[in-house]
Amino acid sequence: MGALAGKTALVTGASRGIGRGIAERLGRDGARVAVHYGTNEKAAEETVAAIEAAGGSAFAIGVELGTPGDAERLWAEFDRHADGVDILVNNAGIGTARSFEEIGQEEYDRLFAVNAKAPFFVTRLGVDRLRDGGRVVNISSGLARTAVMPHLLAYSMTKAALDVLTRDLSKVLGPRGITVNSVAPGIIDTDNTAEFLHGTEDGQAQAAAISALGRVGTPADVADVVAFLASDDGRWVTGHWLDATGGSLT
């Protein structure tokens, strides 16, 4: 019996990268996991299969976020498989954006629609399904607190907005015993960062040098932090911004 046995979790953007790592870890801890994906159904099914192969339970739900009615469609799909949720992880997001000098209004609007608006309404419409004593974890970024990559200004702004949602929503949902926290990764080795980390001669070394621990993070590094917040061990932590950058901000 895992720490999350009997719980149901929804992880958005769980078909790959950090989201997949989180989904697999929550599944290993005993939660039944809703693996949300936007367009890559095959990758989501692979995540489900990996969870099941490890002895867990999961199902995939496909809804493209950042489009009109996205939150309503997501929960309608979820309701076909489960009758409530205990853990909501808002992980899905657009990981890059053009610089301040280059970004246009359409890209800016899309960025905020996926990274800030979707988590807000997925959470708002999910509140009635979220059981008392539940957990909301928002995946932020170390860039919300540092200007080390100013070319990602608009992206960083979306994560700062998500952090305000975390802070204030913790007060709104606190009376129900629901905790709300942000987890802020640094540079993580995923397909989003593959071009920089592996496509350049010294990308890996540059990224590792940013961390106080001297290496690049993995999805498991972030997933383990989320698992703590999702468990009973994290019951007294709420409204918190948790630095999971490997000391990149020190």
Q: How far apart are CA 26 and CA 8, in angstroms?
A: 9
Summary count for the chain: helices (H), strands (E):
9, 7
Q: Which residue has the tokens 């339970």?
A: 57
Active-site residue identified among 159, 170, 182, 248: 159
> Does residue 172 lie within any of the structural domains?
yes
pLDDT at 215: 85
Give tens-digit pLDDT for 61-77.
999 999 999 999 999 99
Q: What is the pLDDT of residues 63-119, one digit of tens each?
A: 999 999 999 999 999 999 999 999 999 999 998 889 999 999 999 999 999 999 999
Count of structural domains within the chain: 1
Q: What is the mean pLDDT of the chain?
A: 93
Strand partners, 183: 139, 242
Residue 196 within any structural domain of the chain: no
Range of the domain at 24: 8-190+219-243
User: Would you say residue 132 lies in a domain?
Assistant: yes
Could you tell me if residue 144 is inside a domain?
yes
Residue 197 falls within a domain, yes or no?
no
Burial class (CB in 10 A: 0-12, 13-18, 19+), 166: buried
Residue with the larger pLDDT of the pair 216 and 192: 216
Is residue 42 annotated as a catalytic residue, yes or no? no
Q: Find how far residue 125's CA is from the centre of its chain.
A: 17
Are 231 and 29 in contact by the 8 Å Cβ rule? The answer is: yes
Q: What is the pLDDT of residues 38-55, one digit of tens each?
A: 999 999 999 999 999 999
Instruction: Give the residue, 188 or 100, on which the prediction is more confident.
Output: 100
202 belongs to a structural domain:
no
Q: Residue 132 is which amino acid?
A: D
What is the per-residue pLDDT for 196?
56
Between 30-34, 113-117, 150-154, the lowest mean confidence (pLDDT) is in: 150-154
Query: Is position 141 annotated as part of the catalytic site?
Result: yes
Q: Which of 15, 140, 170, 231 is catalytic?
A: 140
Mapping DSSP to helix (H, G, I), strand (E, B) and coil, where does residue 168 land?
A: helix
Question: pLDDT tens across 172-185, in order?
Answer: 999 999 999 999 99
- pLDDT category at 200 given cuts 50, 70, 90 is low
Catalytic one among 7, 15, 37, 155? 155
- In this prediction, what percent of the chain has a pLDDT beyond 90? 81
| Paired sense of beta strands 130-139 and 179-185, if any | parallel
Band of pLDDT at residue 199, cut at 50, 70 and 90: low
Residue 233 is part of a domain; what is its CATH number?
3.40.50.720
pLDDT of residue 194: 46
Q: What pairing do the DSSP bridges indicate for beta strands 130-139 and 32-37?
A: unpaired
pLDDT of residue 187: 83
Q: Which positions ≥6 away from 209 have C-beta within 8 Å? A: none
User: Catalytic site residue 170?
Assistant: no
Which stretches of the chain are DSSP H helices? 17-28, 41-53, 70-79, 105-112, 118-126, 153-173, 194-198, 203-210, 219-230
159 as an active site residue: the answer is yes
